[in-house]
Structure 1
Amino acid sequence: MAKMKEKPRGKDRYHHGDLRAALLKAADHLIATRGTGAVSLREVAREAGVSHGAPAHHFDNKSGLMIALARDGWERMIQAILDGIDRDKPANGPDLLECVGSAYVHFAVANPGRFEVMFRRDLYDLSDAGYLASGESSWVFLSDTIKQCIEENFAAPEDNEILSVIAWSMVHGLSTLWISGRLKSRFRDSDITALNKAANRKLTDLMFPKRP
């Protein structure tokens, strides 16, 4: 009788390019269910169903894995914002800022574990050039949006930096408070989609009173 063909082991299931994505997905799941403290290269490999040495193909250590998660998170957030812009087609700078803010909160609430890692600066080497570039891109995007509002005469040039700080503080605070459960515990009937939309609309109305 011919010998039955063995089922491939977990470590053989991934092409080299797919392994990185599988490991990041496994790390996401661990963070979401057990927190960042549960993440190690061995646990991520176990979660992904690959050999314990497989992560070494892409990450030197846990810090390297966390940097990859953070960088990928920033890139995914920017893409989510761009997708929101394509969908909503904002007519002016304030509309654009409202769209950007709503997409930020939506991404954070949909990806709480990844969002945490993006801002847990104690988890990785802050001098990593790739991480710095990815994080900086989000600030540049926000700053350019405020500049558009100024160029369209909705705000004064000298207010560029403070308006950027206010806008980021609101959406980040809303995201963090919702994820922590503090808002849900106080406003039991609130819906994050409606709250997100209303908060961003009110913020832009207050920031740009000349908005049409």
Structure 2
Amino acid sequence: MSPAKSPAASQRSYHHGDLRRAVLTAALDVIAADGPSALSLRDLARRAGVSHAAPAHHFGDRAGLLTAIAAEGYGLLARALGDARDLREAGVRYVRFAREHPAHFQVMFSPGLLRGDDLELGTARALAADALRAAVTAVDPGDRGPDARLAGVAAWSLAHGFATLLLGHNLDGAVGDDDPEEVFRALAAMLFHSAGPDTPRT
């Protein structure tokens, strides 16, 4: 007869990185279903199959966990935008990111829930901003106007607003069965004449 396992031995085993990933994944599932307000570190530990102290050990508190999610989201967004061939494609990728990572997207733009001085978050946010800025500055000034900064605000507002309305099902009637990415391409063409290589110039 084999000896009984101790509680520690029966606890699900994780490597350091796997445990952190398990908590993040459980948190993303909760946020996608019920929003950030539904997060509880103790509940996440139960969902992830780890000790109740594990989330606090890795993230400190709820704000630390949400900050880690936001930092990861900005990193994913920066990579998604990084090799876009033009401004319109960058916008399409922004919308695609929001659709594929709705929990990240929701947390990233909720600054009141995050640690604003977090280095990892600041670095990832800057990388995403740089990727968007590069897409804007690549547009001919005659098509975007002389102020690249304002053009960037306009481009971001269009992509972010469209993605937010889409995720909230506010565009269900307007978009219908059309591909949301194709709808966005048409909107981008209205805003920037040279948003894409096949956009006719006027």
For Structure 1 versus Structure 2, the TM-score category normalised by the shorter chain is: 0.7 to 0.9
Q: Which residue of 1 aligns with 2:111?
A: 121
> Is the contact made by 1:149 and 1:155 (CA closer than 8 Å) also made in structure 2?
yes
Q: Secondary structure of the equivalent of 2:138?
A: helix
What corresponds to 1:27 in structure 2? 27
Q: How many angstroms apart in 2 are the aligned matches of 1:179 and 1:155?
A: 28
- Residue of structure 1 in register with 2:68 after alignment: 68
Aligned partners of 1:24 and 1:2: how far apart in 2?
A: 35
Letter in 1 for 2:74: W
| Residue 16 of structure 1: aligned partner | 16
Return closer, same or farther for 1:2/1:142 CA change in 2, 3 Å cut-off.
Answer: closer
Structure 1, unaligned stretches of length 5 or more? 91-95
Residue 108 and residue 4 in structure 1: after superposition, are their counterparts in 2 closer, same or farther (change >3 A)? same
How much does 1:154 deviate?
4.8
Tell me the distance in 2 between the aligned counterparts of 1:24 and 1:79.
Answer: 19
**Correspondence for 1:178:** 166
Indicate the structure with greater helix content: 1
Q: Determine the C-alpha separation between the residues in 2 that align with 1:202 and 1:64.
A: 40
TM-score by length of structure 1 reads 0.81
Question: Mind listing any 5+ residue stretches in structure 2 that lack a counterpart?
Answer: none
Residue type of the partner of 1:20?
R
For 1:126, give the aligned amino acid.
G
Question: What secondary structure, in the 3-state scheme, does the structure 2 residue paired with 1:58 have?
Answer: helix
Aligned letter for 2:163? Answer: S
2:96 to 106, 111, 121: 106
Q: CA deviation at 1:20?
A: 1.3
Contact 2:144 2:192 in 1 (8 A): no
Structure 1 residue 159, shift from structure 2 partner: 1.7
Calculate the aligned-residue CA RMSD, in Å.
2.7
| Percent of residue pairs identical | 34
Residue 168 of structure 1 aligns with which residue? 156
Identify which of 133, 141, 148 aligns with 1:143: 133
SS at match of 1:189: coil
**Is the CA contact 2:189–2:195 (under 8 Å) kept in the aligned structure 1?**
no
CA distance in 1, matches of 2:154, 2:195: 9
How many residue pairs get aligned? The number is 199
**CA–CA distance in structure 1, aligned partners of residues 167 and 69 of structure 2:** 19
Corresponding residue for 1:93?
none
Q: Distance in 2 between matches of 1:66 and 1:105?
A: 21
| Structure 1 residue 187: Cα displacement | 4.1
Partner AA of 2:127 in structure 1: S
Alignment of 1:133 with 2:123, yes or no, is yes
| 1:199 alignment partner AA | L
Residues 45, 52 of structure 1: 8 Å contact kept: yes
Q: Provide the rounded CA distance (Å) in 2 between the counterparts of 1:190 and 1:155.
A: 27
Instruction: Give the stretch that moved more between structures: 67-76 or 33-42.
Output: 33-42
- Distance change in 2, residues 1:9/1:198 (3 Å): farther
C-alpha displacement of 1:3? 5.6
CA shift for structure 1 position 138: 1.8
